[in-house]
Amino acid sequence: MQHENLVGDFPTFPKQLRSKQKREALIESAKLLFNEKGFEHTTAKEIAAHAKVATGTFYRYFSDKRQLLMTLIDNQIDSMMPLDLEWKSGDPEKLLAGRLEMHYHKINEKNLRKLMPELLLKDAELAEVVNEAKMHMQGKVLDHLQTLQKKGLMWPDIDIETLTWCLQSMMEKLQNRKNEGVSVDYKEFAKVFCRTLFPPDIIEQMRSGKIKDMERTVNR
């Protein structure tokens, strides 16, 4: 979903295939150069040259390099958020560890996350959009955990709002370690995460298949 306040209005949007290809080449070139040189040290002229188009073509599709950067971020902002929680049947620790590995592999492929700390300090609009996305994600997690607790699948005496922001803090700390290039043991992280959520008997029921489908159980 595009955040209009973040990206703004484009000068023009291509309709012909060749024009669309030029615009896409600019986006891919910007992603590469922003990661190699940083946003501040990359110029629109360099992006255009790398994409093998004229500088005028850059300004035909983007007002400036910030709009191009915000286009990149807007396309990926959901994937940059902490992992959404969902629970299927099977061993929850193994499932979560696998999802974490896949999630951060995709983020590393996109490789824009390392630019975010600097950008968030300098760009108030971006910081606001990211904060809104985090709040939306936190609301979804809160609703989900409240339902799980009502179904008797979680610790009954845990305050869910407190648990939610604790879990989100754990996920953000994990992301920070990944940004810093620190190795993370996903299996150990998933073990701590799941055991914070679920009593031992529930975990064993999930592993044994007695709880067939967590999502169906939650949504009944």
Q: Any idea where the domains of the chain sit in the sequence? A: 2-62, 76-208
CATH class of 2-62: mainly alpha
pLDDT, residue 1, reads 46
HEC profile of the chain = CCCHHHHCCCCCCCCCHHHHHHHHHHHHHHHHHHHHHCCCCCCHHHHHHHHCCCHHHHHHHCCCHHHHHHHHHHHHHHHHCCCCCCCCCCCHHHHHHHHHHHHHHHHHHHCCHHHHHHHHHHCHHHHHHHHHHHHHHHHHHHHHHHHHHHCCCCCCCCCHHHHHHHHHHHHHHHHHHHHCCCCCCHHHHHHHHHHHHCCHHHHHHHHHCCCCCHHHHHHC
pLDDT at 217: 46
User: What CATH code is assigned to 76-208?
Assistant: 1.10.357
Q: Give the pLDDT of residue 112.
A: 67
* Alpha carbon distance, N-terminus to C-terminus of the chain: 29
Tokens of 13: 């949007």
Per-residue pLDDT of the chain (220 residues; tens, 9 = 90+): 455 556 778 889 899 999 999 999 999 999 889 888 888 899 999 999 999 999 999 999 999 999 998 888 887 776 666 566 666 668 889 988 988 888 777 666 556 666 777 777 888 888 887 788 788 878 888 888 898 899 899 999 999 999 988 888 888 888 778 777 788 899 999 999 999 999 999 999 988 888 765 554 444 4
Residue with tokens 């910081």: 127
Cβ count within 10 A of residue 53: 19
What's the pTM?
0.66
Alpha-carbon 129 to chain mean position:
13
